[in-house]
Chains A and B, each alone.
Chain A
C-alpha cells in the first residue's frame, strides 16, 4: 500500500517581517507546512510498522523541488511534484484539482494524509476538496490512525469529544498538529534525501482544466494596527497601580 502525504511549500513564517503593516515576503526562505510534517510523521510511522511506501506530494513553484528534500530526509520514500509558477500561491480550488489528478497517477494508494491546515493560510479546505474530487471518504482532525488491512480506525477529535470512526480504504485523513512529534532527520538522512526518486510533472502534463474556477480576490492584507501603550514598569507596585488606574483590577 502506498501512503500519499500532501505537503505545501509556505514562506518560513518566523522570518516574515512587517513593514508599514505590510508583510515583507522578499527573501523569506521556503519551508514545508508545520502540520504537514505531522502528517508525514504519521505516514512514516504506519509504514514502519506495516510496510508500504510513503510518497510526498506537492504542487507549487520550482523551489518545491529543493524544499521537499526535508520530507525525503524525514522518511518519505519518493516525491511526486507538480511544478509550475502558476501554482505559486494558487487558490485551494486550483491546488485541489492538481493534487487529485496527481493522486490518480499514483498506484495502490490506500491512505492520503494532509495536515489540518497549511501553516500560512490555515484554511483546511484542500483535503476536503480532494476527497470530493476523488469520491473518497474523509476524516478530519485525526488524533490517531490505525490501519487494519483494508480499513482504518481513526479518532477524530472534536471540540466536545472524540469520535471513533471506522472507514474503508482508501481514505483522506487530515491530521491534528498534536498527533505526533515529527522526527528531526540525521545528517546522513539529509545527504541521502537528494538521491531519492522524484517524479516531476508540469501543469500541462495533467489533464485538468483550470478555467472557470471561482476566484478569491484580495482587497487588503495588513498586519493589525497596534496602538498599545508599551509602558515599562519596574515594580509590582507600579504594575498594580497602573492596572488599578485602568480600572481592570
Chain B
C-alpha cells in the first residue's frame, strides 16, 4: 500500500477526504477531472494531485470516470480509495470497486485504523443499527459529507495526467440548478422539526414564526417534503436527508421512525411534542410533552 487516493467533484468534500485519508496514510493522492481550481485547492492542502484534462471525459459518465481513476491507481500503486458519499460519489463507488476488484462501503460516518484494518462505521438495517465493518483486499470507501473537517494547508503538487477514455456513453444535454432555497439545516444550532402530525400547510407559518423566535431553522420528516411538498427537500432530516447535530431539536408531531431519528440522534437536547404517549420518538427524547402540537406552538409563540 502506497498512500490513499481521494476523489470528489466537490472541493469542500475532497478536502474532507484528505483529512480522512491522513488517518490511514501520510501520502495522499488526489484526482481532478477538468477542474483546475480543484487541483490547485487540493495541492494547497497537501495532496499530490493528478490533473486530468480531457474534453471526452465527463464526470456525469460514471463508467468513464471509473476507468480514468483506474489508470491513476495503476500509476501510484495503491488500492485504497476514498470517495465522497454524495450522489456522484455513491454512484461511482460501486462501479470503481468493480473495476479494481475492491470491496465497497458507502455512507461511512467514521473510519478508525486498527492495525492493518480500516474499520468503517455506517448505518445498517435502515438506520436501526450502526455497523462497524472492514474490507479485506482493495477498498473503495465513500465517506459522508461533514464526517471530517476540511484539511488545512499543506505542501502538495499537481501533475498532469493523460488518460485514455472510450467514447462518451452519456451526453449531458442540460443542467437545471435547484431553485435556491439555500437553507442549511445542518448548520443550525436550533431546529424546529415538524412531521405528519401537522394538520395543514397554513399552520407552517406558526412553525416558521417559532423557529425565528428561537433563532433556529425549520426542518421536517421526509413525507412532509416529498409527499405533501409543504417544505423543500433541503429541510429533510433522516437517512435520505440531512444528519444534524443541533444544540436543540424541537420535534413536533413526529412519530420517530428510525429513518428519521438517524438524522437527529446526535442532537444535544431533544424535546418531542406528540399526541401519542407511546410514540417511538419518546424513547429518544430528553423532554416529552404529550399534547397537540398546534396548541403548544401557539403558546410557545406567545411566551417566547
Contacts and interface: CB of A to CB of B under 8 A. Distances in A.
Interface of A: 11, 13, 16, 18, 23, 91-93, 96, 119-129, 131-133, 135-141, 153, 156-168, 174, 177-178, 213-224, 226, 228-234, 236-237, 239-240, 242-243, 246, 248-249
Given A164-B174, A240-B303, A215 B107 contact: no
Given A137-B61, A228-B270, A231-B287, A164 B173 contact: yes
B226 A216 contact: no
A220 B128 contact: no
A191 B261 CA distance: 37
A236 B95 contact: no
A121 B123 CA distance: 8
5 contacts: A121-B124, A178-B226, A217-B136, A240-B304, A243-B271
B128 A13 contact: yes
Contacts of A234: 289
Contacts of A121: 124
Contacts of B66: 132
A245 to B, nearest CB: 10
Contact of A163 (B60, B128, B190): B60
Contact of A125 (B93, B128, B130, B285): B93
A229 B287 contact: yes
B97 A120 contact: no
B63 interface: yes
Nearest to B226: A178
A218 B131 contact: yes
B152 interface: no
B198 interface: no
Given A215-B135, A239-B271, A123 B169 contact: no
What class of interface size applies to chain B in its complex with A? 35 or more
Given A132-B66, A140-B87, A249-B214, A231 B128 contact: no
Nearest to A93: B103
Interface string B60-75: 1111001000000000
B288 A233 contact: yes
Contacts of B138: 214
A125 B214 CA distance: 41
Contacts of A127: 94
B129 to A, nearest CB: 5
Nearest to B9: A158
A162 B175 contact: yes
A219 B87 contact: no
Given A122-B239, A219-B133, 4 more contacts: A159-B86, A216-B136, A243-B248, A248-B247
A243 B66 CA distance: 50
B91 A140 contact: yes
A230 B288 contact: yes
Contacts of B176: 161-162, 164
Interface of B: 60-63, 66, 86-88, 90-95, 97-99, 101-107, 119, 123-126, 128-139, 169-178, 190, 214, 226, 239-240, 247-248, 258, 265, 268-271, 273, 282-290, 296, 299-300, 303-304
Nearest to A214: B103
A162 B174 CA distance: 8
B226 to A, nearest CB: 4
Contacts of B170: 137, 139, 165-167
A163 B171 CA distance: 10
A191 B93 CA distance: 40
Contact of A93 (B98, B283, B296): B98
A11 to B, nearest CB: 7
Nearest to A34: B126
B60 A161 contact: no
B94 to A, nearest CB: 3
Contacts of A219: 119, 132-134
Given A13-B126, A132-B95, A138 B132 contact: no
Nearest to B214: A249
B288 A231 contact: yes
B128 A16 contact: yes
Contact of B129 (A160, A223, A230): A223
Contacts of B288: 230-233
Contact of B133 (A128, A168, A216): A216
Contacts of A138: 62-63, 91, 95
A128 B303 contact: no
